[in-house]
Each structure stands twice: as C-alpha cells, then as structure tokens.
Amino acid sequence: MTITDERVLVTGGAGFIGTHLVDRLLADGNDVVVVDNLSNSTRDRVPDDAEFVEADLTDPDALDGVLTGEIDLVVHLAASKVVNVDDPHQQFHDNTRMTTNLLDAMAEAGVDRIAYTSSSTVYGEAPRPTPEDYAPLEPISAYGTSKLADEGLLSVQAHSHDFSVWTFRFANIVGPGLRGAVIPDFVEKLDEDPETLTILGDGRQEKSYMHVTDCVDAMVHVIAHADQPVNAYNLGTRTTTSVDRIAAIVADEMGIDPDHEYTGGDRGWTGDVPKMRLSIEKLAALGWEPELSSDEAVRRSARELIGELT
C-alpha cells in the first residue's frame, strides 16, 4: 500500500530529503507541487514532472493561489536546519512562523491532511533506545525546540480542528545529495588532505544513521497505514555508528588511511546530542523495517557522496 493518485504539496521539496520524496511520489502516480525558497538548494534539483513555486513560507501570503482545495496532502519539510546557528531565536521564530502560516493556509483552503518532518532532537539527551512516548521532552537546541513547538501546533489542529497529522522524528538521514553533515564533510576534507582528518569532539559521538531511500519508504508506509488524529513515529535504524567509525568507513571507501585530530569535548557543537538511538518498535508494529543498518547506510552514502564530491 502506498500513496497514489493524489495531489501532494511538498514544502522544502527542492532539499535533500524533499527531492527523494518528490521522486517517489511521482513514481507512485501522484501530482506534486514543490514549494521552496531555494535557500539550501537549486531549481534544477526539482524534477521536471513536478510543479515548482519559489516562495518563502515565513511570508503569510506565500501560498496564496498555491494551496487550494485541490491539494489532498501536504508534506512539510521546509525549515531552517543550520546547526550551531548564530541566531537561535531567529531560527525558532522562522520555523514556527513557517508552520503557522502553512496551517492557516491549509485551514482556509479546506485541506486537512499534513505530514510533518520533525527530529530526534525533540527528545534532548534521552535514554536509548528512545520511544515515541518518552517524557519529558527537553530539547537542548533552538532547532529541536522549534520542532517540538511545531508538533504542538499540529496537535492542536488534529484534536481541535479535525486534521490528520503524521509526524516523523528522524534519526540522521544520509544519502546522495546530502550536504553540511558529517559524511560529506569528511569526504571533502579527505579529498583536500588525505593525510589528516580533523574530527569535531572526541569521535565517540554515536548516532543512528538511516539511508534516505529507507526514510522515504518509511514515510510513505506510515502515511498509508497509520490513521489516528496524530501519528508520531520515529524513523531510524536499530543500530548506531560512531563518528570514528564513519571516519574509518569514508577513508576505506576512498582507499586512504589518514591520521585523526580531535577538537575535544564530548560533542561537536553547542546543542549537539552526542548519543542518539531511537526505538523503532512502533514502526515495526506497523509492518515496516529498514533495509540497511546504520553502518550499511553510512557506507552506501559514503560511496554515493564520494562520486558526487570528488
């Protein structure tokens, strides 16, 4: 069972996960409208078969004439995702404003189905594996706080205004097209200097990495099968990979053996959660399991990114 014969609006659809999702939705026989301000991507990443609207969702009028009653489903990926951002208050403001404006436009158009891409960062530094009903949720970054606030806004729409909501709390999603994350960072550094690799923190940070093809397949599966007013699901793998292990995998795929230098501390930046593994028992109970383990996702992504970046 999948999503088919629907008209789907994807915010942030020119981004990393968005382009993979748009490809899948088109392949499954859907009409897709992509809305993106191109702050993290370029127009040529959007497939020709999708409609494209360049718009900034922090503008309350951005979706005028775009989000109409012909839309069956909205998938909201658009967000400011910069880690260790210089102005965390602005990041929180922008992310919650985008979601507020989107929900207002949906209500006005009579569209009541939305899938939202949240994050494992809503949990903060929680026991592992972390289930969806873990509490209290205490994020340690402005990004995680904005995602949690958006989940609250969506809950109100579901319980007070009869929306159907699917919320995805992502692990670290990797694959072709990824930029600004540890794997492409290592590939670029080692391409420039194959002798020495500088690693943020102590290299012992350990998280779950999920390949984007698994991520998109899980999203589609949950939307097609989960039918509560609010459907919150962790998307990740049952295993984790340390930063040192990622460095070793990337080096192995590049055929080199660099020395490692560390910046020190137990995390890469302020607000970084050094260890994360999400429980995916709820996802498994819905009939879906990832194809790739965390290490396998990292290795496949490394091969793909080496081909793109070197």
- pLDDT digit string (tens) for 44-80? 999 999 999 999 999 999 999 999 999 999 999 999 9
- Geometric angle at alpha carbon 17, from 14 and 20, rounded to 5°: 80
CA distance 115 to 77: 9
Q: What is the pLDDT of residues 120-157, one digit of tens each?
A: 999 999 999 999 999 999 999 999 999 999 999 999 99
Domain 7-172+210-235 falls in which CATH fold?
Rossmann fold (3.40.50)
How many alpha carbons lie under 13 Å from residue 63 in its C-beta half-sphere? 29
Instruction: Say whether the peptide bond before residue 47 is cis (omega within 30 degrees of 0).
Output: no
Taken in order 254, 257, 260, 266, the sign of the CA dihedral is positive
- Residue 83 reports pLDDT greater than 80: no
**Domains of the chain by residue range:** 7-172+210-235, 175-208+238-276+291-309
Q: What is the pLDDT of residue 269?
A: 87
175-208+238-276+291-309 CATH choice from 3.90.25.10, 3.30.465.10, 3.50.50.60, 3.20.10.10? 3.90.25.10
Task: Please report the pLDDT score of residue 85 as a whole number.
Answer: 78
Q: What number is the average pLDDT over the span 243-271?
A: 96
Q: How far apart are CA 199 and CA 242, in angstroms?
A: 12
pTM here is: 0.96
- CA 162/CA 221 separation, integer angstroms: 22
Cα–Cα distance between 248 and 265 in angstroms, integer? 20
Which pLDDT belongs to residue 270? 87
Residue 154 has what pLDDT?
98
Tokens standing for residue 159: 């319980």
Give the integer Cα–Cα distance in Å for 58 and 182.
29
Section 94-104 average pLDDT: 98
> Could you give the CA distance from residue 39 to residue 37 in angstroms, rounded to a whole number?
6
For residue 196, give the H/E element and its range. Answer: strand 196-199
H or E segment to which residue 165 belongs: strand 164-170
